[in-house]
Amino acid sequence: MTRNRIRLLMVMDSLAVGGTETYVLSLVKSFPAIGIMPVYAGGTGVMYESFARIGCPIYRVGLTAEQLLDPEQQEQAERALMQIMRSRKIDIVHIHQTPSGLYAAEAARKLGIPVVFTVHGAYYPPEQLQQLKAAGCIFVSVSFPVQAYLDVLGIPSHLIANGIDFDQFRSESSAALKASLRIPEEEKVIVYASRLAWDKAVVCAMLLRAARSIRLSGSAPFHVIIVGSGNQASVITELAETLNQECNTAFIHLVGSQMRMHDYYNIGDLVVGTGRVALEAMACGKPVLAIGNHGYFGLVEQAVYDEAWLYYFGDHNSKERPTEQRIGEAIGGLLGSADQLEEIGRQGQAWARANFHIRDKALQMKELYETLLAQTN
Tens digits of residue pLDDT in 38-77: 999 999 999 999 999 999 999 999 998 888 888 888 999 9
Q: What is the number of alpha carbons within 13 Å of residue 92 lying toward its C-beta?
A: 25
Please check the confidence at residue 124 and state whether its pLDDT lies above 70.
Answer: yes
- Burial class, 85, CB count within 10 angstroms (exposed 0-12 / middle 13-18 / buried 19+): buried
DSSP-based three-state secondary structure for 197? coil
Please give the domain boundaries of the chain with CATH numbers for all domains.
6-163+357-376 (3.40.50.2000), 175-355 (3.40.50.2000)
The per-residue pLDDT of the chain, averaged, comes to 95
* For range 137-143, the mean pLDDT: 97
- pLDDT tens per residue, range 238-285: 999 999 999 999 999 999 999 999 999 999 999 999 999 999 999 999
Q: How large a percentage of the chain has pLDDT more than 70?
A: 99
**Res. 168 pLDDT band, cuts 50 70 90:** very high
* For range 23-45, the mean pLDDT: 97
Indicate the range of 168-172, 337-341, 343-347 predicted with least confidence.
337-341
Angstrom distance (rounded) from CA 282 to CA 354: 12
Report H helices in the chain.
Answer: 19-30, 48-53, 71-87, 100-111, 126-134, 144-152, 175-180, 198-216, 233-247, 261-267, 275-283, 305-311, 324-335, 338-355, 358-376
- Burial class, 90, CB count within 10 angstroms (exposed 0-12 / middle 13-18 / buried 19+): buried
**Res. 3 pLDDT band, cuts 50 70 90:** low
* For range 291-312, the mean pLDDT: 94
What is the reported pTM? 0.95
Model pLDDT, residue 70: 87
Indicate the range of 64-68, 152-156, 295-299 predicted with least confidence.
64-68
- Burial class, 377, CB count within 10 angstroms (exposed 0-12 / middle 13-18 / buried 19+): exposed
Model pLDDT, residue 1: 44
